[in-house]
Amino acid sequence: MSAKVFVGEGTDPGRVREENQDATSFYRTSDDVWTLLIVCDGMGGHAGGRQAAAMASEGIGQEFANRVSSSAPLEALRDSIKVVNRKIVEHAEVNTELRGMGTTCVVLAVARNQAYVAHVGDSRVYRIRPGSVEQVTKDHSYVQRMIDSGILTPEQAEEHPDANMLMRCLGGRPDVEVDVIGPEPILAGDRYLLCSDGLWGQVNAVEIAAMSMAFSAQDAVNRLINLANERGGPDNISVQIYHQGDAHPPTGSFSPEKFTVKNFADSAQAGGSQVHEAAEKTGFRKPGVLVLGVIAVAVLGLLILAFMQYKKHEGVPAESRKPAAVEKEQVPKHDSADAASASNNGDVSSVKESKPPEPAAVKNQADADAPRAPNAANPTKASQSSPAPSAPEPTEAPKGKPSSPKPAKPQNKPEK
């Protein structure tokens, strides 16, 4: 004999918005084996958001019923959501006034005392047991990524200006990544609560748990919606509660202090369940930020080094860049005896080096206008720092073809 099941659901526009773009659905397969609860939070304009949420809440259950008999439950859930997503995208392409339409979705599928969850966006599922509450899903939002990366704390994320920015939704693109979780054993008295951010943005997890355990499923739904409205009701509010079994009946006492928030991932691993998160979600991690930081420092160091090398080997001053004919000196030959005699007599002025000096580079007008090669010699500075030795009157050497300095090897730009 199957255990008793109690379900409560409700949706409300809130106190600020005139239209309700949320949608909920309760679906049972024709063989009465599977029960599905679905919450969707639409976006993209009044008409677009409402239609996207309606298409998802109505279509996912039907697609799941067509697949679950021939596919594994998690695969059937994922494929059903992907099919509905493509239908929303195609609908927006045909009806241009609805472009930008989208919706979140969260699905709880239950059969044979096992729970399966699939979701896209920031609508949530909580599992509630006596004294504890666990957030089963993890938001596909910008601030959640910053929490995962250690940039924000959960408390800081609540007040962040981009708290409503989603990283994933149905209708955003033809192929969407879907997170699926399960199977999770359902214990007698367990409550599963699904909701849009209109509830969890105003009512915290322990308050949600305390209300769900204190009252019957439908009564708890009504009270939670009222509580969110009392705190401003800035968004549409949707809530569903699934309560299985007679254990832990409603206490009638709202006592949030008796509940603590637990980490669902730890409980899931201990129970043998798996959390199948899409690869897109795990791409933004703290180690990745550290690697980018190291690369940035390395690139900056290379740029600084290249600049210092350029300044060190910078071209000659502007006044020495005019083209000029440089006459070569004829170097008279001296035998070793004359050199030794001159050296012994201390007369170094008459001794010439056996090796002639390097010829100065002569630039044409085009070279004068071009930047100086970093390794080119500076004949002006050389003649100032080393006085020329005395020598016989030089004769004019025939002027050779001006030689152009070799172009400087370009610096390789460091890759990003």
Task: Please tell me the distance from the alpha carbon of residue 34 to that of residue 45, in angstroms, as a whole number.
Answer: 34
- Is the pLDDT at 249 greater than 90? The verdict is no
- Cβ neighbours of 66 (radius 10 Å): 15
Task: Please tell me the distance from the alpha carbon of residue 244 to that of residue 127, in angstroms, as a whole number.
Answer: 12
- Is the pLDDT at 184 greater than 80? The verdict is yes
The domains of the chain are located at: 5-284, 315-385
The third-level CATH classification (topology) of the domain covering 5-284 is Phosphatase 2c; domain 1 (3.60.40)
- Average of pLDDT values for 19-44? 95
Structure pTM? Answer: 0.66
Euclidean distance between the first and the last CA atom of the chain, given in angstroms as a whole number:
65
Task: Please tell me the distance from the alpha carbon of residue 275 to that of residue 270, in angstroms, as a whole number.
Answer: 12
Q: What band does 178 get if pLDDT is binned at 50, 70 and 90?
A: very high
Least confident interval from 6-10, 77-81, 101-105, 342-346: 342-346
Q: What share of the chain is helix, strand, coil (3-state, %, to 5)?
A: 35, 20, 45
- Is the pLDDT at 80 greater than 70? The verdict is yes
Convert the pLDDT of each residue in 211-227 to its tens digit: 999 999 999 999 999 99
Residues ≥6 apart with Cβ < 8 Å to 277: 138, 179
CA 174 to chain centre: 20
Two structure tokens written together for 112:
């044979």
Convert the pLDDT of each residue in 84-97 to its tens digit: 999 999 999 999 88
Alpha helices in 215-357 (DSSP H): 217-230, 264-270, 286-312, 336-344
Convert the pLDDT of each residue in 271-309 to its tens digit: 445 555 544 433 323 233 333 444 556 777 788 888 777
Mean pLDDT taken over the chain: 77
**Residue 296's pLDDT is what?**
59
Task: Please tell me the distance from the alpha carbon of residue 357 to that of residue 328, in angstroms, as a whole number.
Answer: 9
Q: What is the DSSP code string of 99-127? A: TT-EE-EEEEEEETTEEEEEEESS-EEEE
Write phi, then psi, for 292 (nearest 5 degrees). Answer: -60, -40
The percent of residues above 90 in pLDDT, for the chain, comes to 52
The percent of residues above 70 in pLDDT, for the chain, comes to 66
Write phi, then psi, for 344 (nearest 5 degrees). Answer: -65, -30
Most confident of 221-235, 303-317, 373-387: 221-235
Two structure tokens written together for 361:
């580079």
Least confident interval from 80-84, 91-95, 239-243: 91-95
- Is the pLDDT at 35 greater than 70? The verdict is yes
**Looking at per-residue confidence, does 140 or 357 come out higher?**
140
Convert the pLDDT of each residue in 322-339 to its tens digit: 444 444 444 444 444 444
- Average of pLDDT values for 41-70? 93
**Residue 308's pLDDT is what?**
77
How deeply is 60 buried, as exposed, middle or buried, from its count of CB atoms within 10 A (0-12, 13-18, 19+)? buried
Question: Omega into 398 within 30° of 0, i.e. cis?
Answer: no
**Are 194 and 39 spatial neighbours (Cβ–Cβ below 8 Å)?**
yes
